[in-house]
Amino acid sequence: MLYKNVGKKLLFKMDPEKAHNVVIGGLGLAGKVPGMSGLLSAIYGVPQYKELETELWGIPFKNPIGLAAGLDKNAHAVEGFSNLGFGFIEVGTVTPKPQSGNEKPRSFRLPQDKALINRMGFNNVGIEELSTNIAHTKRRTIPVVINIGKNKITPNEDAEQDYRTCIRRLYVQADFFVVNISSPNTPDLRNLQHGNELANLLAAVVDEMQIQQAKHGDRGKPILVKIAPDLSDTELESTAKIILDSGVSGIIASNTTISRDGLMHPNRQEIGGLSGKPLTHKSTEVIRKIYELTEGKLPIIGSGGVFNAQDAYDKIKAGASLVEIYTSLIYEGPGVVKKINEGLRELLKQDGYTHISQAIGAGVYGIR
């Protein structure tokens, strides 16, 4: 209630990007102030519930709710977000070289629609500074995922070198990686989701991962692919097959959408990727289709329009093993993480399940 009555009102009086920076700065500072981590955890932390604990790719997750990429682009507040009850955090998108992104303003709220539109353009500090920021994190209590992309000036035919560079430099810092080929805000990036361009790119990142695994003598790091929600059924079928055959570890479904169907707020006319409530059903259907196309063989992280436990549960029953949030954190506040986890426990109980794994894909006919 404190967030909705005080914090949200103050933040929503600011420009969205400025408010974003204030939040990241505040959480970054909170991670360094003695006693503040414990206070945040006491207020917003999620108790460990056996029925919500899970393991994927040999990595343990305290609960299935993670923070999506884009909020903590530069890993300034990993410890702060870790104290808000998340099961994992995704930082980035990061590119090999720093870049300033698109011209401002580039972030817009649509309160009537419980949505956001952004055209940030992969603004980030680059791999060197991000690596330093993660290394300086005092405590890593949850998995840290690094979302990687190509620089705007890098043509698609050379994109694989940018992704290789990110993996090579950040291999030690990441628990796993996400290959972002689906942002609508970098020219031609989404073309990498199709055909030979996708197959060649994934072959390159898998090869680089194997090189780093051999170099470091460990079991390797999982690598996932983040796709757009705007693919046609034919495109999705082709993309899913290429991803499944590539040897990568999973899929994130989905990124922001370029659709503006059903929006009411005047900011609907802004160019960029739309996130939030309007994406809830669309992203869940993409998850369901991917789960069917891959016959449940490839783990999926569901993302898009998750505001409550039912939204998250619908994605899990459609085939998601983990779920991410972003926009709901802006509209509902940090308490939303605990509410979703507590609600998931109740929904599992209602359906007679004793563990979250039993619900994965349970709503997809013919697979489970």
Question: Catalytic residue numbers?
Answer: 183
- Residue 62 token pair: 């305290």
Q: 187 phi and psi, to 5 degrees?
A: -50, 130
Look-up of token digits 């940018």: 162
Determine how β-strand 54-56 pairs with β-strand 59-61: antiparallel
Q: Comparing C-alpha atoms, which of 360, 366, 330, 326 is closest to residue 344?
A: 360
Those residues whose C-beta lies under 8 Å from the C-beta of residue 60, and which sit 6 or more positions away, are 53, 54
How far is Cα 97 from Cα 110, in angstroms, rounded to an integer? Answer: 32
Distance of CA 263 to the CA centre of its chain: 23
- Residue 154 token pair: 């890098």
Sign of the dihedral defined by the CA atoms of residues 281, 284, 290, 293, in that order: negative
Q: Where are the strands (E) in 103-254, listed by range? A: 107-110, 115-118, 144-148, 176-180, 223-227, 250-253
- Residue 79 token pair: 């410890």
Q: 66 phi and psi, to 5 degrees?
A: -120, 170
Report DSSP letters for 78-115, one per residue. Answer: HHHHHTTT-SEEEEEEE-SS-B--SPSP-EEEEGGGTE
Q: 307 phi and psi, to 5 degrees?
A: -115, -20
Residue 158 identity (one-letter amino acid):
D
Under 8 Å between Cβ of 341 and 46: yes
